[in-house]
A and B are shown apart, each in its own frame.
Chain A
Amino acid sequence: MNMQINQPVRLTAAETALVEAFAAQVGELPGNGAVTGTRDRLLDDLKRSGLPTRRIESWHYTDLKNLLRSVPERVVGGVSVDPIAPLVEGAKVLSIVQGVADNRATIDGVELSVFRDQLADGSAVAGLAAFDKDDAIARINGSFVRDGFALSVPADVAVEQPIELQAVHGAGQVHTRFPAVFGARSKATIIERHCAVTEDAALVSSISDLTLQDGAEITWIILQTQGADDTHLGQIRISLGTDSKLRLFIVNAGGKLVRQELRVEVQGEGSEFTLRAVNLLGGDTHTDVTMVLGHNVPHTSSTEIIRNVLFDKASGVFQGMIKVAPDAQKTDAKMACNTLLMSDDADFSVKPELEIFADDVICGHGATVSDIDRNHLFYLMARGVPENRARAMLVNAFVAEIVEELEEEKLVEALEGVISDWLEKHA
């Protein structure tokens, strides 16, 4: 059918750098025989098909092959990066510095291990596999991952203080994993934080794998504040059990090239999935949030609200696919994507998709793109607020509205602080 299919792919500079980086680390990457075998296969797949281009549907708006111009070399030793203060005062910090997890960390009531141990004993091997041939993030991460934290909250345990998974790094490459199992009726708030502390380019890939057992109620926050030259490839995999509730909150406020993938499987009746995402995009950057959400059983609900603010020449993408299985009756799913374009040179693409095979469901999606409301601007100015300040207040309000849904005061305050700091720098 296609003559090109048998021709070898000509590798780009970035692809070549990945292949070479892998070769340089052979024998050094943690893992038993099974893990090493899986790594080899993943890298081989990457080498054979290359990074995805716009011809791959799920990467149509983020042509990774063209956008990823180069890959920084791995920095070995001599990196002076220190952990930073937690986002929320009192949070228990699990620190990952330059991709290496602190194995002395403990949290009362939480079973904790470092991911490198799971690689070494081979228990991590099943999770390394890619979903499909287009799953470039799993290929890269599975090939190179060195560490992270595996956490498990036993049944009926409510973890009082938020847990912060704090991945800080300087230049180079960082590949991390965070498998997390939340036992029946457990409760916890987790902050997954990715933060560059120097300005030099880094390539970061990170995969979180969340399992919520029956009745678990979890808040998971991803705060991405990478540097201006960084590439961040994130993936979060979610499985929701009966009557479980997950509130997932994503803030993208950094990075040059960012892709955040969400693969959500709603597996238990009575479960609820909530996604709120704030994308603050400026400069000459590209950020992509791609979600595939499966409602697989009856009586489940989900809501997603994505708010985007774009300045300068930034571009952004939200792809949201909701699949409702044939027997997933009474599914209630609502998705909204609202964009504030503050520059004529910025653009945002939205692709909502509904695949519904059940007949008794409520499914809806909506998208808006706007400038600041003139009536709002006039009202603030008529009270003496100068135009620039009034505009900043209104942009802030546009995203603050969904941050406030989190309700925990300290968390709301901390995230609003991150947002207003970003706006002060970019607006």
Chain B
Amino acid sequence: MTATLIWIFVGLLVIGLYLSWTAGRLDRLHTRIDAARAALDAQLLRRASVTQELATSGVLDPAASIVLYEAAHAARQAEEEQREVAESELSAALRAVFSETAQVEAVREVPGGEDATVELAQAVRRVPMARRFHNDAVRAARALRRHRKVRWFRLAGHAPFPLAFEMDDEPPTALADRPVT
């Protein structure tokens, strides 16, 4: 009798430890998503700021300036639900303006233009990186959260179900091909 009780107790303890370890794993994944999301936010903001700076600096023709300014402004002001659309539109606007290598060269020749292009090239390269890292973390967390041990024992607590950030982040070819020094 006592032996059975001890075995039941040991069994419960092992299950408890396993669940506690899984909860720790999930917690770490949520932390990773938060960090990746913060990094993605930072890169998106950086890209919008550099674009806005470029649009207001007068190195581009007025039409291109207005297009870029509008898109960057919208991306920065967008509500959370419209953010993906607004950021995708900024990508499209950047691609439209910097589709030609000649345009990039023209900006570089203006005083201060060299720094601005390097910054912009860096920003358009890093947004897809940060987004991929974020969505990778989201995928890992979702895979674990769908597992029944997590659902049955509600190990995720009240943390919201993680959502991927979907947008068009294709960089302008003329900027992406230039080695960033």
Instruction: Indicate, yes or no, whether A interacts with B.
Output: no
List residues of B whose CB falls within 8 A of some A CB. Answer: none
